[in-house]
């Protein structure tokens, strides 16, 4: 899939596109169901993933099956990181 990073509302210097790709491709990433209760009708997906350099990222994105548009990317909170690690431990 193609990663769309046009008009993002976060700093691409702080979170590099390569890190976003790595977090999305993390085989142990936690992907949450989309929220369909939005007024604009657009479904947003959420993912918790880890990069190769061991950075934990929270991602909010939209996808049409061909393209992924990143809406938000940030470091996980402590609670999100604990949730990710619990899920990761269940796969070991």
d(CA 64, CA 90): 30
pLDDT per residue over 46-59, tens digit each?
999 999 999 999 99
Whether 37 and 60 have beta carbons less than 8 Å apart is answered as no
Mean pLDDT (the chain) is 88
> How far is 60 from 31, CA to CA, in rounded Å?
10
pTM of the complete model: 0.85
Residues above pLDDT 70, as percent of the chain? 90
Structural Rg of the chain based on CA atoms: 13
Give the mean model confidence (pLDDT) for residues 80-86: 95
Q: How far apart are CA 45 and CA 71, in angstroms?
A: 10
């Amino acid at each position: 899939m193609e990663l769309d990073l046009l008009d993002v509302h976060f700093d691409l210097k702080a979170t590099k596109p390569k890190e976003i790709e790595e977090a999305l491709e993390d085989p142990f990433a936690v992907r949450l169901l989309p929220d369909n209760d939005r007024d604009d009708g657009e479904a947003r997906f959420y993912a918790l993933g880890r990069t190769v350099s061991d950075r934990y990222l929270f991602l909010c994105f939209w996808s049409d099956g061909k393209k992924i548009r990143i809406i938000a990317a940030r470091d996980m909170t402590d609670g999100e990181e604990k949730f990710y690690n619990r899920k990761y431990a269940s796969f070991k």
